[in-house]
Structure 1
Amino acid sequence: MGDYLPKKLAELLLAMLAVSFIVFCALEVNVSDVAVKVLGQFSAPDQREAWLRENGYFDPFLVRYGRWLFAFVSGDWGQSTYFRDSVFHLIWPRLGATGILAGLTLLVMVPLSLLLGILAGIREGSPLDRGISIFSVLTTSIPDYASAVFLSAIFVFWLGWLPGASTMTGGFTWGEIVLPVMVLATYSTGYLARMTRASMVDVMSAPYIRTALMKGASPSRIILRHALRNALIAPVTVIMLQIPWLLSGVIVVEVFFAYKGFGTLLYEASLNSDIYLIEACAMVGVAVVVVTQLLSDLLYTWLNPRISFSSPKAAS
């Protein structure tokens, strides 16, 4: 990969630095608001001034930003004003809970959507292709909150098969995780299936596929050994983008089912103006985006070795 990896890491770190500056500006540029959010709206003005002076909020803005950034990198993420606990200790259990939800969703969504997309792509224009396309459009066009209501009406109120809440108060329960996974997988499967179908149709019309067919190669051999690997390049991008979305974009689903995950934590922090918790959640979300972007590029080279990340000068 040449010098691509160090350059990519540097670009991603710069992006994280820029986002951290924006987050800090948005939440801490007005020190008076910070004091009110931390001490409460009924605190006295002299209490706020004393707290601001004690915590260095009268220092220059860039000095405060540098101190906050150093503390964050060191693992000192501050104290939650709503939960009255360390932000660092609050985030990891919630992040793990959302990781379980996201992992199960990907485990259902990825194989199903790839299978549907491949079947539709190799039979372009057939009734199967049209049926899968209609299913994909319908599932993609329905918002997650609407599908949550619809699925709850069927499996909770009508059939009575599943619980309506996923609080996990008694520990992990498979019955409580089914509905959140169904909602998230239904919303994402159609889009990924459409991407896979379009990529498969494009690859199946390539000259090297036609050449293999004329040489008498079996369709299964062509699909598995030649077409599939190249057709997966575009869907890989969508799959990698789903990971950050599943981390922070599941707020509606987690709140709807009372699931105590990262999305619910971010919602509660925003609802209660918990600035230190919001800052930490935002930075964790950015870190996940950076890691998935790097993994996406590495998967590109594995799926298609012809893709080179080295500079033109090095390649020549």
Structure 2
Amino acid sequence: MMLKLILRRLVQMFLIMAVASLLLFAIFDTPEFKKRLAVQELGGFAVSALSEDSYQAWLSERGLDAPFYIRYTNWIGSILQGDLGFSYEKNREVGPLLLDRLANTGILAFFVFALMIPLSLVLGVLAGMKEGSVQDRTISFISVFTTSIPEIATAILLTVVLSLGLGWLPAKSAMIRGFEFQQLILPVLTLVIYDFGYVARMTRASMAEVMTSQYIRTAILKGIPYRRVVMRHALRNALIAPFTLIVLQLNWLLSGVVVVEVFFEYDGFGKLLLEAALFPDVEVVQACTLVAVAVAVVSQIISDIGYTFLNPRIRFA
């Protein structure tokens, strides 16, 4: 059953990526974007001085006058060979540039997950164990309060207090001298403070529901120690819904952290995507969009497979 599920999800991933790539290519395969590509490659003055015949000759040289299906096939073939194009804004190949930015965002995401997951799960379980208590209300209030504050407001507050006020941390994360650990502290704190409340509230709701179930009441009435009931019986079932949410946070950490990366001048994937969209650097936008879609699909597959391990009723259905 597990093998069939994985194969079915892989087929779905292939189909989704194929449709997404086709739509993405069609969106950017317009005369307007071709003109912008010519401006980036030749320069604005050179393009304005080009005659229509010269422009058509440039299109023919780049293969942009070929039929749609040929251009799309060539584009997919180049991507499969690792050729993602050239960034005229950064004056670099898109492939190495994208890998560098993904590595930076991956480092940021690692520390965010390392702090956010234990914090949110522990607080969510503590709140759900005693639904309606002072402990539950306090944790729920903190979770709602932190998630209701926009990321930019949290980033400004942390910068004013920890950087400008106390002088403990650098205000920006500009990687001029290379990677430094101190550059991560403010971005990581901002993302953890903003996001842990979502997972904590989901964990709390799931834990509270499990604790009121019949099998938990039966286990307690049979005299099983309360801690054992929570750790061995309640916790596993309570983690099903939070697990799905945690895995889906990969999408948010990849492309949804644009505000944080731009504010702290952190050279990550989100900042690259924004810069490419503003330039506009068409081939970088295309590559970033495909990566974002791929991560979204892969995270969904991981979520589905993990869900079956946590829920035996699905695994053996």
Relative to the length of structure 2, the TM-score reads: 0.94
Choose from 34, 39, 49 the match for 1:36.
39
Q: Which residue of 1 aligns with 2:73?
A: 66
Equivalents in 1 of 2:219, 2:68: separation in Å? Answer: 64
Residues 87-145 of structure 1 show CA distances to partners (whole Å, capped at 9, x for unaligned) of 11111111101000011001010000001100000011111111111111111111111
Equivalents in 1 of 2:206, 2:41: separation in Å? Answer: 51
Equivalents in 2 of 1:168, 1:80: separation in Å? Answer: 20
Which deviates the most, 42-51 or 98-107?
A: 42-51
Q: Which residue of 1 aligns with 2:10?
A: 9
SS at match of 1:307: helix
| 2:309 and 2:315 in contact (8 A); partners too | no
| 2:244 and 2:303 in contact (8 A); partners too | yes
Number of aligned residue pairs: 310
Q: Which residue of 2 aligns with 1:87?
A: 94
| 1:28 and 1:34 in contact (8 A); partners too | no
* Structure 1: unaligned runs, 5 residues or longer: 310-314
After the TM superposition, which segments of 4 or more aligned residues of structure 1 sit over 4 Å from their partners?
A: none
State how 1:48-67 maps to structure 2 within 5 Å.
48-67=55-74
| 2:6 and 2:305 in contact (8 A); partners too | no
Choose from 231, 235, 240 the match for 1:224.
231
Equivalents in 1 of 2:273, 2:55: separation in Å? Answer: 26
Residues 185-229 of structure 1 show CA distances to partners (whole Å, capped at 9, x for unaligned) of 111001110000000011111111111011011111011101111
Choose from 34, 50, 56 the match for 1:45.
50
Shift in Å, 1:2:
4.6
| 1:144 and 1:183 in contact (8 A); partners too | yes
| 2:170 and 2:183 in contact (8 A); partners too | yes
Does residue 1:122 correspond to 2:123, yes or no?
A: no
Q: Which residue of 2 aligns with 1:278?
A: 285
Shift in Å, 1:37:
4.3
Which deviates the most, 279-288 or 193-202?
A: 279-288
Q: Over the residues paired in the alignment, what is the CA RMSD in angstroms?
A: 1.5
SS at match of 2:209: helix
Equivalents in 2 of 1:301, 1:307: separation in Å? Answer: 6
Q: Which residue of 2 aligns with 1:24?
A: 25
Amino acid at match of 1:17: A
Q: Which residue of 1 aligns with 2:296?
A: 289
Amino acid at match of 1:23: L
Choose from 209, 212, 218 the match for 1:205.
212
State how 1:228-239 maps to structure 2 within 5 Å.
228-239=235-246
| 2:101 and 2:272 in contact (8 A); partners too | yes
Does residue 1:135 correspond to 2:136, yes or no?
A: no
Equivalents in 2 of 1:115, 1:251: separation in Å? Answer: 28
Equivalents in 2 of 1:176, 1:67: separation in Å? Answer: 41
